[in-house]
Chain A
């Protein structure tokens, strides 16, 4: 009681921020949040009225039935809610399970549990993956290096630059040739780099003929020491398409500088459509369609992913018959990061001028529409090899069962994408896995958690190690357990695999 008085005497310290739901109420002592379910009791966030509705329902003699995928005629097309909402439930992940190399031994944990009235078996192991790699998507339009160029860590090639995608550059790292096909040092460095990336740690890489990068899952890339802030809104031509109408009254010509497609407003379809007068300004490069130009400069770290630092360099000519003194020219990059304002003088030479407020606002509008840049790290591995023997005595049946969606594959409880075609080659976003899920062996190879979940009957049918099946409760009573909450954006791994689409 005395303590309660003490905390209310100092209410500022005692305000509790409730993080039970996205409303994030700030709750003062003795008060409840917007939901009336959580309250500040003497400075401690407390659930005061668990499930008002269900209690009331019970009082009226009504029963509460768990709402689960597949039950009560539910067609299962909706993911089940996090099961702890319905009943305490646990899923054993492969993290720390240990491995069974060589693989003819049964997997470390073959766990039986009930889900939705069906006996489910989860085969839990840590796979040793010689065949594995990392796909990195880097949200940037800066030129990171030529396609196919080697990506190096401490001078060793660990992968290469692959395709450029929308607003981003893909890197393909690791793979069996770097892990085991090159020198011993190359294999070790590749393994270390992949391990760090998969464990969501930063890695510095150099690209032959390109940039030095720091990449880390879920963080902006750092290109040559500069953190990337935003993706571009679109290519130069798309930028014109989006904003042409907003520029109409403020500029006579807008050139959006872009390494891929530079746009020239008055010549572009968008400008023609708005009846804009042609400016006669012609940019360098190769004309694709009216107002759209390829290769106006070399790729680089300047304006719009080109090597340009003075935008006037990309202007090839100004047609004296078409242009006019006083013509107002905006040059801007696809992120709004670079911009310049010019007015043509009597000799039709662009002269820098202070940018009008309306144009500043238009440039800022481009920046506002650019999404935050991130690095995304997908781990890709083939579970089609010998680790299947830890699951079943007849490995190809496991592969077929995965293909038939009778067996669900998860990695540390996170959903995976299983590639069509042969083998069990899957990809998983490491951001959705628990921290430090990965390990390595000096082979070198990566060790990653993998779980196969299927019904007990299906498991027996594919030649599973039925003698080694243990009950979930027995596993939970053992020591050496780390319990973690299921991420709300991951589907519950034991839910029927046929009810879920790939992530």
Chain B
């Protein structure tokens, strides 16, 4: 059995980043600040990472159960973050697994920021990102709608004055299964776990009945899926524009709903070249500009 592993990623002229991997978890971590502080933060990230997966797996059966009336009693700190982030969405089908990536990112980021005073830091767990911003700092995050044809479709600028410290993206093309057909739904929220859960739920809502959309029971697509027999999207053909607009409108409605409840700050939805945003102050946060 493999143990957690770590490697430095470096880009010419750019700051190095720490890559931590264990089983299905891949984290890319960056920290800015005094050298001693970033060293301590990387140290803390690696130390905290050691038992993350093992502890999660210990409660996996419970984490794959849909949330219902009773808040699940979980012990692991990441598991508890997952349940807390998904709890507000329990009126629809959701399991705590919807927030696993963001919760891991939040947990590692917390270990780093507790260990040292940093200017900026991010923990990117497969596109679900936990951020730390000291006053006056900001991040620019690129949004890629279609991972098969990656180019920057939009840039989200997050600055310390805004409340968002989490970014997450969900869509049917991603590694997790989706009930919806969105190419990508990117959400800004208070932390990565909340963003992760909300992105999943908004992406699920981006849906329309059309012959070009093919679905299969989740358990046939992926063994051990927490979605059971629910139909998940396996392919989306070219849709007529009215179907695209209808699907997006369902997602935007869900996004506005979550925004009114304070669960997200903003959302960016894309489907077959059409994009929508939700969030009144969104233009300040996400600027749509072609960079690709």
Chain A contacts to B: CB under 8 angstroms = 19-28, 31, 33-37, 52-54, 57, 60-67, 72-75, 77-78, 81-82, 85-86, 488
Question: Is B231 part of the binding interface, using a Cβ–Cβ cutoff of 8 Å?
Answer: no
Say whether, besides A62-B12, A73-B39, A23 and B7 are in contact (CB < 8 Å): no
Chain A residues in 8 Å Cβ range of B222: 31
B9 and A64 form a contact (CB under 8 A): yes
**Contact with A63, one of B10, B18, B224 (Cβ below 8 angstroms):** B10
Chain A residues whose CB sits within 8 angstroms of the CB of B9 once the complex forms:
53-54, 57, 62, 64-65
**Distance of A53 Cα from B16 Cα, bound (Å):** 14
Beyond A64-B9, A81-B5, 6 additional contacts (C-beta under 8 Å) are A21-B2, A34-B23, A52-B26, A60-B11, A73-B35, A85-B2
Known: A25-B224, A31-B223, A73-B39. A53 touches B23 (CB 8 A): no
* Contact yes or no, B11 A20, CB < 8 A: no
- By a CB distance below 8 angstroms, the chain B residues around A73 are 35, 39
The reply on B4 being an interface residue by CB < 8 A is yes
Residue of B3, B8, B53 near A488 (CB, 8 A) is B3
Complex interface: chain A residues within 8 A of B4 (CB): 81
Cross-chain contact A72 with B8 (CB below 8 angstroms): yes
Chain B residues with CB under 8 Å of A23's CB are 23-24, 53, 57, 60
Measured in the bound complex, the distance between the Cα atoms of B157 and A332 in whole Å is: 63
Q: Which residues of A contact B95 (CB under 8 A)?
A: none
Judged by a CB distance under 8 angstroms, whether B6 is at the interface is yes
A20: nearest chain-B partner, CB-CB:
B2
Shortest A490–chain B CB gap in Å is 10
Of chain A, the residue at the smallest CB distance from B3 is A488
- State which of A35, A54, A78 has its C-beta within 8 Å of the C-beta of B43: A78
Whether B7 and A86, one on each chain, are in contact in the complex, defined by CB atoms closer than 8 angstroms, is yes
- Contact, CB under 8 Å: B43 / A62: no
A sample of 25 cross-chain residue pairs with beta-carbon separation below 8 angstroms, ordered by A number, consists of: A19-B1, A20-B23, A21-B1, A21-B2, A25-B223, A26-B223, A27-B223, A33-B24, A34-B23, A34-B224, A37-B24, A53-B28, A54-B7, A61-B11, A62-B11, A62-B14, A63-B10, A64-B10, A65-B10, A65-B16, A67-B8, A73-B39, A74-B39, A81-B3, A81-B5
Residues of A within 8 A of B24 (CB): 21, 23, 33-37
Task: Specify which of A21, A22, A66 is in contact with B7 (CB 8 Å cutoff).
Answer: A66
Q: Is the CB of B224 within 8 A of A75?
A: no
CB neighbours (8 Å) of B53 from chain A are 21-23
Most interface-central of B5, B11, B23, B54 (chain A CB within 10 A) = B23
CB of B215 closer than 8 Å to a CB of A: no
The answer to whether B139 has its CB under 8 Å from any CB of chain A is no
Top 10 closest pairs, chain A to chain B, by CB: A21-B23, A35-B24, A488-B3, A65-B8, A62-B11, A34-B24, A67-B6, A85-B5, A67-B7, A22-B57
CA separation between A345 and B275, bound complex, in Å? 80
Whole-angstrom CA separation of A82 from B5 in the bound complex: 8
Chain A min CB distance to B75 (Å): 14
B37 → A minimal CB distance (Å):
12
Expressed in whole angstroms, the Cα–Cα distance for A85 and B18 within the complex equals 15
Taking CB atoms, residues of chain B closer than 8 Å to A28 are 223
Instruction: Please report the C-alpha to C-alpha distance between residue A63 and residue B39 in the assembled complex, in whole angstroms.
Output: 20
Min CB gap B200→A, angstroms: 16
Q: Is B71 an interface residue (CB 8 A)?
A: no
Residues of A with C-beta under 8 A to B57: 22-24
Chain A residues with CB under 8 Å of B2's CB are 20-21, 85, 488
Interface centre among A27, A28, A85 (most CB of B within 10 A): A85
A113 to B158, CA, bound (A): 48
User: Is there an interface contact between A65 and B7, defined as CB atoms closer than 8 Å?
Assistant: yes
Residue of B nearest to A62 (CB): B11
Question: Is B175 interfacial (CB 8 A cutoff)?
Answer: yes
Question: B80 interface residue, CB < 8 Å from A?
Answer: no
**Does residue B21 face the partner (Cβ distance < 8 Å to A)?**
yes
A33–B175 CA distance with the chains assembled, in angstroms: 11
Interface residues of B in 51-108 (CB under 8 A from A): 53-54, 57, 60
| A66-B26 in contact (CB<8A) | no
**Chain A residues within 8 Å of B259, by CB:** none
Contact B223 A488 (CB under 8 A): no
Q: How far is the CB of A500 from chain B (nearest CB, A)?
A: 14
Return chain B residues, CB-CB under 8 Å to A34.
Answer: 23-24, 224
- Within 8 Å CB of B5, what residues of A? 81-82, 85
Asked if B19 is at the interface of the complex by the 8 Å CB criterion, the answer is yes
**In the bound complex, CA of A86 to CA of B47 (Å):** 18
Chain B residue numbers with a CB within 8 Å of A82 are 3, 5
* Of B3, B14, B28, most A-chain CB atoms within 10 Å: B3
Contacts A33-B24, A34-B24, A65-B8 known; A72 to B16 CB distance under 8 Å? yes
Judge whether B12 and A61 touch: CB under 8 Å. yes
- In the bound complex, residues from chain A placing their C-beta under 8 Å from that of B1 are 19-22, 488
Given contacts A36-B175, A488-B1, contact A22 B21 (CB under 8 A): no
Q: Which residues of B contact A62 (CB under 8 A)?
A: 9-12, 14
Chain B 25-59 near chain A by CB (<8 Å), digits 1 or 0: 01010000001000100110011000001100100
Closest beta carbon of chain A to B9's beta carbon, Å? 5
Residues of B within 8 A of A77 (CB): 43
Q: How far is the CA of A390 from the CA of B22 in the complex (A)?
A: 41
Q: Does B43 lie within 8 Å of A22, measured CB to CB?
A: no
A268 → B minimal CB distance (Å): 29
How far is B46's CA from A74's CA once the two chains are assembled, in angstroms? 12
Within the assembled complex, what's the spacing in Å between the Cα atoms of A35 and B57?
Answer: 13
Chain A residues, Cβ within 8 Å of B19: 53-54, 67
A64 touching B8, Cβ below 8 Å? yes
* Residue in A closest to B57 when the chains form the complex, CB atoms: A22
What residue of chain B has the Cβ atom nearest to residue A19's Cβ?
B1
A23 to B100, CA, bound (A): 14
Q: What is the bound-complex CA distance between A25 and B47, given in angstroms?
A: 25
Q: Complex Cα distance A19/B1, Å?
A: 6
User: In the complex the two chains form, what is the Cα distance from A37 to B23 in whole Å?
Assistant: 8
Residues from chain B with a CB closer than 8 A to the CB of A20 are: 1-2, 23
